[in-house]
């Protein structure tokens, strides 16, 4: 197990020491989809839900989630987050879906992929909470990192949907 960075040679989990890494500008973008019904998406967009305006609430929740990632994921480093952008928009190709996108930035020694994933997930959970009175069957799905930049490994973006994992 010594080639896995979050395990010591004796197999115990530990937080990776990043103190020798260079401080660089880092950014990560993650996405997710809340699948519901078209009439519910219309209510999300119009702000006509029993709990109130869902988009702004989800956006703030996502930002808070990004900032609290190391409190939720045990081996994540606390990072000085310099920016978080959350977009919550109806899916262009599916009238019963809402796309959630989070972009997180920092200047630090490790990346912000986990913060972007947490932001999307918390925003999606908040949307679900806001709509559950009108659709308990909604599903949060397809949460994934789609791009990252900075650090030793440089830039990366998810291959097009038609490519397989083996092609990536």
Q: Report yes or no: 29 and 84 within 8 Å, Cβ to Cβ.
A: no
| Tokens 């997930």, residue located | 121
Complete DSSP assignment for 21-84 = SPPEEEEEEEEEEEE--HHHHHHHHHT-STT--HHHHHHHHHHHHHHTHHHHSTTPPP--EEEE
Measure the CA–CA gap between 157 and 149, rounded to whole angstroms. Answer: 9
Q: Which of 129, 135, 155, 167 is catalytic?
A: 129
Torsion of CA 9, 15, 21, 22, to 10 degrees: 170
> Is 129 one of the catalytic residues?
yes
Residues carrying an active site annotation: 129
């Amino acid at each position: 197990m010594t080639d896995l960075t979050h395990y010591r040679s004796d197999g115990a989990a530990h937080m990776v020491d990043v103190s020798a890494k260079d401080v660089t500008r880092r950014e990560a973008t993650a996405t997710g989809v809340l699948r519901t019904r078209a009439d519910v998406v219309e209510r999300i967009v119009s702000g006509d839900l029993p709990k109130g305006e869902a988009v702004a609430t989800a956006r703030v929740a996502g930002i808070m989630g990004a900032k609290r990632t190391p409190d939720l994921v045990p081996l994540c480093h606390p990072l000085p987050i310099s920016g978080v952008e959350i977009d919550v928009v109806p899916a262009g190709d599916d009238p019963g879906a809402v796309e959630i996108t989070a972009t997180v930035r920092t200047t630090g020694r490790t990346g912000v992929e986990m913060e972007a994933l947490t932001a999307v997930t918390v925003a999606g959970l908040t949307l679900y909470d806001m709509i559950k009175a009108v659709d308990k069957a909604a599903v949060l799905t397809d949460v994934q990192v789609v791009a990252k930049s900075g650090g030793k490994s440089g830039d990366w973006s998810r291959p097009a949907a038609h490519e397989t994992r083996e092609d990536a």
